[in-house]
A and B are shown apart, each in its own frame.
Chain A
């Protein structure tokens, strides 16, 4: 029997686009939160530090799927109603952002103390010390762990299937309803598409790393 790959293409294509859209939006949210909470946890102001730590600890301890359910199903009961897309983006962004903040924080702490001292000895302002000396070196250290984290993010977008957002996984399940006997092929193809998407993340990050670490 020949497998009707071509019949599946339209749905899978749409699903892939939705998955990419969720992933990109979640990456934007997660990176913003990572930067804010990561820098915040190195702040000299204690309230900012406590707020950042609380966010990081709380959302790392949270189960993403439970968070997603809570945001999508429970929040409307207290008057906050989000679309499926934004519920997914918010839950994923909040969760991955907490892990990203830890990466940012440890990359900043990994910059040798001498770099700070030299920039102080040259009389750079505190802002210049942070943004011209510490952050550029920290960013280079962040890229490899961030690459892994973004792959985790991509994988976690499949959870929006649970709130019936028509992403890649959801579309594959729809196809499966109509082509039940081809189930193994459908899932194999689905795994393959996710693998390609993950690989493009890691390739992009490797190129970025090379760019940011030309000085090494």
Chain B
């Protein structure tokens, strides 16, 4: 049932594909983090149109599957706009947009947790809004939410196989291709599953330790 020599034979191929998976994960996470903060800031805007518009968009993106969003981006966007994106770029944009909506909520909880006195102090010091945000509020809002953001890094990692639907040859698609050549499916899919499991368990273990360290620093 389990063929060790076959497993050893395909492992290098799979590990190579893992690099694509990790690349898409990291790029998607960075994009989501940046867009997420912009959404969070926009949702505190004075302009109701911006606030409500963003709320609607966030709600829509969170209510629809990433897979369909990827299809839309990959297959329809080139028909609407004069652009053509690679599978990798589309995948990263899809992941980034989708999880930005989740991360914006995380940022929001972090920002809400900053004491009101900090805003008042910034006002009293006559700091500009940009200065207030980037020197006073965000440096206090972000560290406590780092563990939650870390959890989303893991979530994004686990979602990357969806990118195979738009022909990105990441780990799962590589396993599928390997299986279709050899007609042995058990080893490639099992190895793929274990790789995802191990990486996400390691990451969540790391996050738990980080959280403990952060907690200690904050209570000190």
Most buried by B among A63, A169, A188: A63
Asked if A78 contacts B192 (CB within 8 A), the reply is no
Instruction: Say whether B189 contacts A61, CB under 8 Å.
Output: no
Say whether, besides A65-B162, A159-B162, A162-B165, A74 and B68 are in contact (CB < 8 Å): no
* Residue from A57, A69, A194, A202 in contact with B201 in the complex, judged by beta carbons closer than 8 Å: A57
A contact residues around B196 at 8 Å (CB): 61-63, 66
- Chain B residues whose C-beta falls within 8 Å of the C-beta of A74 in the assembled complex: 185-186, 189-190
Roughly how many angstroms separate A64 CA and B67 CA in the complex, as a whole number? 13
Interface size class of A (residues with CB under 8 A): 35 or more
Q: Which residue of B lies closest to A68 (CB)?
A: B161
Within 8 A of B (CB), among A158-194: 158-159, 161-162, 169, 172-173, 176, 181, 183-184, 187-188, 190-191, 194
Q: Are B75 and A187 in contact (CB under 8 A)?
A: yes
Are B64's CB and A195's CB within 8 A?
A: yes
A58 touches B176 (CB 8 A): no
**Which residues of A have CB within 8 Å of B193?**
62-63, 66-67, 70
Q: Which residues of A contact B6 (CB under 8 A)?
A: none
- Determine whether A16 belongs to the interface, using a CB cutoff of 8 Å to chain B: no
Q: Which of A65, A77, A156 contacts B185 (CB 8 A)?
A: A77
- Smallest Cβ distance from A80 to chain B, in angstroms? 12
Nearest-CB distance from A170 to chain B (Å)? 11
Q: Which residues of B contact A25 (CB under 8 A)?
A: none
Assess the B197–A187 pair: CB atoms within 8 A.
no
Residues of B within 8 A of A156 (CB): 65
Complex alpha-carbon distance, A199 and B10, angstroms:
44
Q: Could you say which residues of chain B place their CB within 8 Å of the CB of A169?
A: 65, 67-68, 71
User: Chain A: which residue is nearest B63 at the CB level?
Assistant: A198
> Which among A151, A158, A188 is the interface contact of B62 at CB below 8 angstroms?
A151
B157-201 with Cβ < 8 A to chain A: 157-162, 164-165, 172, 175-176, 179, 185-186, 189-190, 192-193, 196-197, 200-201
Compute how far the CA of A78 lies from the CA of B184 in the bound complex, rounded to whole angstroms: 12
Other-chain residue from A64, A70, A172, A181 in contact with B190 (beta carbon distance below 8 A): A70
The CA-CA distance from A53 to B200 in the complex, in Å, is 16
B75 with A176: CB separation less than 8 A: yes
Do residues A73 and B185 form an inter-chain contact, with CB atoms below 8 A? yes
B186 CB → nearest A CB, Å: 4
Q: Is the pair A191, B190 in contact by a Cβ cutoff of 8 Å?
A: no
Knowing A70-B189, A187-B71, say if A62 contacts B158 (CB, 8 Å).
Answer: yes
A21, CB-defined interface residue at 8 Å? no
Nearest first, the 4 A-B pairs at minimum CB distance are: A198-B63, A184-B76, A158-B65, A63-B158
- A sample of 6 more A-B contacts (CB under 8 A), given A73-B189, A184-B79, is A58-B197, A61-B204, A62-B193, A155-B64, A161-B165, A194-B63
| Residue contacts A-B, CB under 8 angstroms, 9 given | A61-B201, A62-B158, A63-B160, A65-B161, A65-B172, A70-B190, A78-B186, A169-B71, A191-B64
